[in-house]
Structure 1
Amino acid sequence: MAKKYLRLGAILSGVGTTQNAWRHPDLPGDASVNIDWYRENARKAEAAKFDLVFIVDSPYITPDTAPHFLNRLEPLTLLSAVAGATSKIGLVATLTTSYNEPYNVARQFGSLDLISNGRAGWNVVTTGLEGAAGNYGREEHIDHEVRYARALEHVKVVQGLWDSYEDDAFPRDKERGVFLDKSKLHALNHKGEFFSVTGPLNISRSRQGQPVIFQAGDSDTGRDLAAKVAEGIYTNQENFEEAKAFYDDIKQRTAAAGRNPDHILIFPGLVPVIADTDEEAQAIADAEFGKLDLKKALVQLGRPFNYHDFSQYDLDAPFPDVGNLGSNGYRGSADRIKRIAAAEKLTLRETAWRFAARPSPFVGSPLTIANEIERWYKGGAVDGFNFRISSPTNFDAFVNKVLPILRERGVVRSEYDGETLRANLGLPVPANRYSEAEEASRETALA
């Protein structure tokens, strides 16, 4: 098991998931489809001893979608190419359970896990954008509650398929002419509410047993899914108190689900604003806010509500009553926006600025940033952070100025603990269910 450190992920989001990130002078305009950009930044993150790189994804766009989503590489194809340019860092891809079949998902991630020698992770999502239904031959998006019930069964089926071969199933004995020990191959024969999958999968387990499962839903049903199956969870919190409340809630749900809370790691997003002094950093943050375009802010505000057109309302009236809009999309995000707008009595204009700007709680000098990161970690609000790489200069400042402070304090690692993603995250290797059952049977017979 790995030593306890603050874990670090790097979100490789090319030209950015906000409206203005692509205009950074040091960021290639084609970063989201430029494999050299991904390889270079993955290697930089690996040199800085990050645990993983993470690829966001969604299967629906509009012309007003943020630049990165308009033109980007498919995550598993991308990470298979990045795997050959790295050797230690984990490779986590987003893939929806709503519009993919378990057998294909198991095979794709199983392949990435073998290609990378045990560094793959799957970020399980259910797809919040209702428009995605039209890209997969459906008239309507799957209902929110059904999506999450389907997701739980989907993940269980995929994990069952990953166990198709016991770890010693392939003797590959050329002298005896034995390639496979057939007793070590198992069909799944699953018949459930949403899926019927016979199996077995035609790919063996990697050295880490199975890819690591991540999850990114923030609604109650999303949190429950995470508690049942996730080993890492991505989230976004505005301040320490919010992060602490989320952390405690997830850990409690995980324990209630009969799992070890230490086996689920929580990674809020990290978008620091770093300068030589706190005053300079705040000035940079204020200047970035001043560059925001209100029309684009309204588009960004509409995304959790299935790209609802908020420009039709009075900007200086209270945030409009949109009823259940968003409940079948990104419910957690939509509910949070409605809740905060009501509690703080925000106008639509103020709401758009508030959620487009996404003010970072990490603004200041390298020492200030390091102190705040350590406070969140030691205060029990996080297990790690997911750093969004869109500003090359900001990433360099974090790696070269903030991480050395945290490393000197023993908060982050100086070297990798192992060769696999599980080893470096301190997560156990899942036992093959069939080997485990056979061992239990032998022990019962000997008792």
Structure 2
Amino acid sequence: MTRKLHLAVAAYGVGGPGQHGLWKDSRVPKNASTDIRYYIRQAQIAEQALFDAFFIVDSQFITADYPSHYLNRLEPLTLLSAVATHTERIGLVATASSTYNSPFNLARRFASLDLISGGRAAWNVVTSFDTGTSRNYGLDEHLDYATRYGRALEAVQVVHGLWDSYEDDAFPADVGRNVFLDPSKLHALDHVGEHFSVAGPLNVSRSPQGRPVIFQAGVSPEGRDLAARVAEGIYAPGGSLEQAQDYYADVKRRALAAGRDPDHVVIFTGAAPVVAATDELAHRRSREIYDEDDDFDRKLGFLGRSFGAYDFSRHDLDAPFPDVAHLAEKGGRTAGAAIVEKATAQRLTLRQVVDTLTEYRASPFTGAPGTVADAIEHWFTARAADGLNLNFRTLEDLERFAGDVVPLLQARGLFRTRYESDTLRGHLGLPVPENRYTQARRAGQVGQVGQAGQAGQAGQADAPVTVGGDR
């Protein structure tokens, strides 16, 4: 078969969302979230299993109720720069907010990681839905939804433009002619837009993959539409098989309508496999994991994240769910609206909302290795995902998946048996984008390439991108 499964691992240390009790596990170092050796080992295991990418999530605001991993963790680009020097092939995806970073800074940092890693970098673009982040950056309030997305769109336009500052052959480094740089291949951006004015050029050259891959997580209809037009990798929310199929078909359909090749929009669905010797043991372990993490107070605290870090502990747990719909506008709007709608329709109390949202549900990828491989194959062939973004609790869990499940996927012809590329774009089957100025030069239009927002071709992967929330 020509279509191949993609696998990524989302790395946590002492416990992300739904893993509130992981820090108590004796197999997990208590400083795992800040121990670079722990991340390097995860990336190496994933690379040995031929995974496409190693993904680091991030946010920049916490309360004491947040999951353990959130309270004390490394900055993603710094972390991945270290991981890059201890790996050779696996892609490196870092989360960074377009709301609280300047485009020039983002462009330089990701371009640097791309060169350090030999063309394996990707930017997971987020707008930040933790409203408290604003106060860490000198703002009284978090930007509203429309402004965040408008700023994000323009930020990625600018970053794309900056990544094209040098054409591929800009540095002849010809000693005989005393020419290090061909100045005709260096281009200032001179962008002036609604949110940014950026002169450029960037002082970092292009990498073997042309430029970093753009990832995002579009959930709202607006986000799906724009993401489908321009994003290259998408982190899908998961849910049931039917929900994943609907999301997959919707995004692919929107991509085709925008004039893109849907195969150049690679959709990763989130998954947390539980693998054991038998199906019975796996389901028993799955329930044990839920019980280990079943901390009501922490779940109540984390519920507030979709509503601008709202403190729900001020309310009577057994009273009707409070009227907080307006708070979702500057937080996780889609998730918040869904919670309010559910609570209203079912007349749920606050306690019931927490219990319902966090009730036990076994992952569809729970069971013996063969059972898990069957489920992955079914989701892949049923067009629910192009791949999985996997989360494992411990190194041992990752090793078990890599050693017991991946070989089964390979034997079925679903997953690669060797890396066929050195770059993340190559792993994902994405084309290397041609430098806009080189493209214009070939067309005899080099003088017409202006602002970043004008240079990308509508509907193609080097056009603007929209974004999702961070985690």
Q: TM-score, normalised by structure 2?
A: 0.90
- Where 2:417 maps in the other structure, the secondary structure is coil
Q: CA deviation at 1:411?
A: 1.1
User: Does the residue aligned with 1:94 lie in a helix, a strand or coil?
Assistant: strand
Q: Partner of 1:123: helix, strand, or coil?
A: strand
Specify which of 356, 360, 380 is matched with residue 377 of structure 1: 380
Bigger mean CA offset, 41-50 vs 383-392: 383-392
* Paired residues of 1:238 and 1:361 also in contact (CA < 8 A): no
Q: Aligned ranges for residues 102-181 of structure 1 at < 5 Å?
A: 102-181=103-182
Deviations 1:232-265 (A, max 9, x none): 0112222101111111121122223332221111
Cα distance 1:431–1:358, how it changes in 2: closer, same or farther (>3 A)? farther
1:206 corresponding residue in structure 2: 207
Letter in 2 for 1:412: F
> SS at 1:371's partner residue?
helix
Shift of 1:366: 1.6
Q: Which runs of 5+ in 1 are unaligned?
A: none
- Greater CA deviation, 425-434 or 285-294? 285-294
Match of 1:436 in 2: 439
Q: Deviations over 1:309-336 (max 9, x none)?
A: 2233443455444222222211122223
Give the CA deviation at 1:347. 4.3
In the alignment, structure 1 residue 402 sits paired with structure 2 residue 405? yes
Deviations 1:322-376 (A, max 9, x none): 2222222111222233344455665433432343457322222222211111111
CA deviation after TM superposition for structure 1 residue 40, in Å = 0.8
- Could you tell which deviates more after superposition, 254-263 or 233-242? 254-263
Q: Is the 8 A contact 1:301 1:355 kept in 2?
A: no
Amino acid at match of 2:22: A
Distance 1:354 1:406 in 2: 34
1:229: Cα distance to partner?
2.7
How far apart, in 2, do the equivalents of 1:107 and 1:266 lie? 27
Amino acid in the other structure paired with 2:260: R
Partner of 2:15: 16
- Map of 2:64 onto structure 1: 63
User: Alignment partner of 2:100: what SS?
Assistant: coil
Specify which of 334, 337, 351 is matched with residue 336 of structure 2.
334
Asked if 1:315 is matched to 2:317, the reply is yes
Aligned partner of 1:87 in structure 2 is 88
Distance 2:146 2:443 in 1: 36
Q: Distance in 1 between matches of 2:72 and 2:301?
A: 18
Distance in 1 between the 2:445 and 2:305 partners?
55
The answer to whether the 8 Å contact 1:148/1:225 transfers is no
Q: 1:424 to 1:361 in 2, by over 3 A?
A: same
Instruction: Give the distance between the partners of 1:442 and 1:188, measured in 2 at CA.
Output: 16
Work out whether residues 301 and 356 of structure 1, in 8 Å CA contact, stay in contact via their aligned partners in 2: no
- Give the Cα–Cα distance (whole angstroms) in 1 for the partners of residues 418 and 359 of structure 2: 35
Alignment match of 2:423 (pick from 381, 401, 420):
420
For 1:23 and 1:400, the matched residues in 2 are separated by 25
- Percent identity between matched residues is 52
SS class of match (1:327): helix
The amino acid of 2:219's aligned partner reads: D
Query: Which moved further from structure 2: 235-244 or 74-83?
Result: 235-244
Q: How far apart in 2 are the matches of 1:357 and 1:391?
A: 22
Q: Which moves more between the two structures, 54-63 or 387-396?
A: 387-396
Once the two structures are superposed, the pairs formed by residues 39-54 of structure 1 within 5 Å of their partners are 39-54=40-55
CA distance in 2, matches of 1:112, 1:289: 37
- Of structures 1 and 2, the one scoring higher in RCO (CA 8 A, sep 6+) is 2
Secondary structure, aligned partner of 2:391: strand
In 1, Cα distance between the equivalents of 2:353 and 2:278?
Answer: 29
Give the AA of the match of 2:16: T
CA distance in 1 between partners of 2:13 and 2:350 (Å):
30
Deviations 1:61-105 (A, max 9, x none): 112211111111111111111100000000010000001111111
Contact 2:55 2:92 in 1 (8 A): yes
> Partners of 2:344 and 2:114 in 1: how far apart?
45
How far the C-alpha of 1:279 sits from its partner, in A, is 2.0
CA contact (8 A) 2:238 2:271 kept: no
Distance in 2, matches of 1:407 and 1:66, equals: 35
Q: 1:354 to 1:6 in 2, by over 3 A?
A: farther
1:156-176 per-position Cα deviation (integer Å, ceiling 9, x unaligned) = 110011001110110000111
The 3 A distance-change label for structure 1 pair 283 and 299 is same
* Alignment RMSD (CA, Å): 1.9
Corresponding residue of 2:353: 351
Q: Deviations over 1:122-174 (max 9, x none)?
A: 00000001101001111111111110111111101100110011101100001
CA distance in 1, matches of 2:385, 2:308: 30
Query: Compared with structure 1, are the counterparts of its residues 442 and 194 closer, same or farther at alpha carbon in structure 2 (3 Å cutoff)?
Result: closer
Instruction: Assess, with a 3 A threshold, how the Cα gap between structure 1 residues 38 and 421 changes in structure 2: closer, same or farther.
Output: same
Higher mean C-alpha deviation, range 282-291 or range 96-105: 282-291
Contact 1:124/1:213 (<8 A) preserved:
yes
The whole-number CA distance in structure 2 between the counterparts of 1:339 and 1:398 is: 37
Distance in 2, matches of 1:268 and 1:338, equals 25
| Residue aligning to 1:300 | 302
Q: Equivalents in 2 of 1:70, 1:373: separation in Å?
A: 33
Distance 1:338 1:416 in 2: 46
The answer to whether the 8 Å contact 2:325/2:337 transfers is: no
Q: Label 1:141 to 1:157 Cα distance change in 2 as closer, same or farther (>3 A).
A: same
Kept after mapping to 1: 8 A contact 2:287/2:360: no
CA contact (8 A) 2:131 2:142 kept: yes
- Partner letter of residue 162 of structure 1? W
Distance 1:433 1:407 in 2: 38
Check the 8 A contact 1:3/1:426 in 2, yes or no: no
| C-alpha contact 1:273 1:364 (8 A) present in aligned 2 | yes
SS of residue in 2 equivalent to 1:36: helix
Aligned pairs, how many? 442
1:155 and 1:358 map into 2 onto residues whose CA distance is 39
Code of the aligned partner of 1:429: V
1:7 alignment partner in structure 2: 6
